[in-house]
Amino acid sequence: EIISRIRKAERAYFTLHKFFKSKLFSRRTKIRLYMTIIRPMVTYGCEIWPTTKQLEKRLLVFENKILRKICGPVFDSELNNWRRRKNTELREITEVPLLTSHIKCQRLKWFGHTMRKTETTNTRAVMEWQPTGKRPRGRPRKRWMDGIRKDLETLEVTNWEDGVQDRDYWRTVTVAAKILKEL
């Protein structure tokens, strides 16, 4: 699912790549174009993705590639040559929050929304369902709820069962998730 989302967003990017390379548009306009067209294509349905480190890295590579096109190269006077911008430079210039932080924030929002529903709704029942039987041999797959638990641990949210019911508190948790870079 995630890889197909990246491919669709790459197609959209390549249809608009003339705009991103153009000197006629300001950097701010290009960032707005990225945030309104391409990023939603990548993050569509991200609330239910069980992301791994490898997939997160792939998402960040995709985002950095586009941000590099938007910002362009920089002239290094010491080397007397053009060079690519570093990831930290991209973040400082564009002020775009990390794609992975955005995904985790959306996932926590969805989690809070679903946990506030009654226990009889289908989404809540599926979320709390525990399969019976034995797992296959080998390392267990990463589940969606494992990612939520890890994110809540990183944010140091201990009593999430009660915290989910308080919308204002949960909103502060999701905002903190967007701000935190190592999440």
DSSP structure string for 35-48: IIIIHHHHHTTGGG
Say whether both 11 and 36 belong to one domain: yes
How many other β-carbons are positioned within 10 Å of the β-carbon of residue 104? 26
Q: State residue 160 phi and psi, 5-degree precision.
A: -75, -25
Q: How far apart are CA 24 and CA 61, in angstroms?
A: 26
What was the pLDDT predicted at 181?
A: 64
Output DSSP code: residue 15.
H
- Model pTM score: 0.85
Answer yes or no: is 62 within a domain: yes
Say whether both 6 and 87 belong to one domain: yes
Say whether both 27 and 111 belong to one domain: no
Say whether both 149 and 89 belong to one domain: no
Say whether both 23 and 53 belong to one domain: yes
What was the pLDDT predicted at 159?
A: 86
Answer yes or no: is 15 within a domain: yes
Say whether both 110 and 71 belong to one domain: no
Q: What is the pLDDT along the chain (183 residues), one digit of tens a residue?
A: 889 999 999 999 999 999 988 889 999 999 999 999 999 999 999 998 888 889 999 999 999 999 999 998 888 888 888 888 899 999 899 989 899 999 999 999 999 999 988 888 888 888 878 778 887 787 777 788 888 989 999 888 888 888 889 999 999 999 888 887 655
User: Domain range spanning residue 152?
Assistant: 103-128+143-179
Answer yes or no: is 136 within a domain: no
Q: State residue 176 phi and psi, 5-degree precision.
A: -65, -35
What was the pLDDT predicted at 182?
A: 56
Q: Which residue has the tokens 């932080």?
A: 101
Q: How far apart are CA 10 and CA 58, in angstroms?
A: 13
Closest CA relative to residue 103, chosen from 172, 161, 45: 45
Quick one: tokens of 165? 């019911």
Say whether both 116 and 64 belong to one domain: no
Say whether both 16 and 85 belong to one domain: yes
Say whether both 166 and 83 belong to one domain: no
DSSP per-residue codes, 48-65: G----HHHHHHHHHHHHH
The HSE-up count of residue 64 (CA atoms within 13 Å, CB side) is 16
Answer yes or no: is 40 within a domain: yes
Domain count, the chain: 2
What was the pLDDT predicted at 121?
A: 87
Answer yes or no: is 133 within a domain: no
Say whether both 120 and 81 belong to one domain: no
Q: State residue 22 phi and psi, 5-degree precision.
A: -65, 145
Answer yes or no: is 54 within a domain: yes
